[in-house]
Amino acid sequence: MSRPGPAQIGHFDPDTIRRGAIACLPLLPSTIIFGAVLGVLASQRGLSLGELLFMSLTVFAGSAQFVSVDLWRETIPAATIIIATAVINMRYILIGASLRPVFRGRPLWVKVCGMHMVADENWAVTMTQPNLANPGFLLGGGIFLGVVWATGNIAGYLLGGGIPDPEVYALDFAFTAVFAALTIGMWKGKVDLLPWVAAAIGSIIGHYTLPGTWSILAGAGAGVVTAALTWRPDMDDDSLEAEFAVEGRDAYGAPEGTVNTGNTGNRATLSPEAGK
Amino acid sequence: MTQFPDLTTFSLEAVLTILGMAAVTYGMRLGGLLMADRLPQHGRWAHVLERLPGAVLISVWVPSALSAGVIGIAGAAATVVTMALARNLFAAMAVGMVLVGIGRYFIGI
């Protein structure tokens, strides 16, 4: 682990899974409290605890679950709930796409198994790891968050009221804070500036003009369009740097020029896999 | 609503609804990755894909900071600055959350 050779780190290495779980530890208090709030809501809306846990582990997407449970009635409006879930979770298309370097060169079954436990939080934590961009790390965070989320659900469902109001301890702000902080780790250089400014402006405009989570798509769309428009062929140097990320080594946030040292030979071994 | 916590009832409609939710969500997660795998590894598309995580992340938290009002914007700014200086996730989160907690408790903003 300390000195990875040319061979890739295992797909779901136990040690990497454990590190991924530990990296999500700062999210424990807010995840458990929000899980409990959802548990209370579910008991009021008539879901059984079993149904709620089934949902938490198969859907595994907080904001969509809140909206769905809120829409839940005696006669379940299934179509409305599924459409709402699809709209709220549409950002996962972008999140999935951005995980390409984490899964590059891995077989299909790793992608199939690794993509389920992807929440915003463990995705963001994984994407900002300097050395561990690896499916095991992502899965470790996902399993940790899933267990904590389900534990919160159980506590909230059984306790009913009596759980602290997240706003009092600013626990609702934990998610904003973790994403804001992790943004710093995603900075790869000046090329990010314009797309990021566009994303911020797009999401702010979306926030005031669009309902629900459409602001995420508005911001991401503005960022993507700006990135596409500002691309120049001489920027390809940057994408070369990212190619090395693929191997789970110096992926994100590596200082310019430090990555290429001694690794030039690996490019040749990588290329055939890229065609898969 | 039942009198006692309803632990184990699984109604068919509930299970089907949840499976529908799970299918669309997982489909988008895996579908996004598989679509990206088909995009070129170099050039404009690769460049766009590399900018994507930052753009998504910013679009997640900027609106939620705005929703939290003035103190939310201040808290997010404090978090970003702390992270840029200290490079410590826990410290950055703590600074933002404490600021928001204090702001809500004492000033009510």
In DSSP notation, A11-35 reads TT-HHHHHHHHHHTGGGHHHHHHHH
Q: Kindly determine whether residue B62 and residue A219, on different chains, have CB atoms separated by under 8 Å.
A: yes
Alpha-carbon distance values, A180 to A40, A105, A143, B63, B101 (Å): 29, 30, 23, 11, 17
Q: Which residues of B touch A187 (CB under 8 A)?
A: 54
Q: Which of residues 27-66 of B touch A (CB under 8 A)?
A: 28-37, 39, 41-44, 46-66
Long-range contact set of residues A84-89: C-beta below 8 Å, sequence gap at least 24: A85/A59, A85/A61, A85/B20, A85/B21, A85/B24, A85/B25, A86/B24, A86/B25, A86/B28, A87/A212, A87/A213, A87/A214, A88/A61, A88/A63, A88/A64, A88/A212, A88/A213, A89/A61, A89/A64, A89/B24, A89/B25, A89/B28
pLDDT of residue A104: 87
pLDDT (tens digit per residue) in A74-110: 899 999 999 999 989 999 999 999 999 999 889 999 9
As a whole number, the mean pLDDT across chain B is 91
Higher pLDDT, B58 or B42: B58
Structure confidence at residue A8 (pLDDT): 61
Question: Which residues of chain A fall below pLDDT 50?
Answer: 1-7, 238-276
Q: pLDDT per residue over A150-170, tens digit each?
A: 999 999 999 887 777 888 788
From the list B53, B82, B100, which residue is nearest A170 (CB)?
Answer: B100
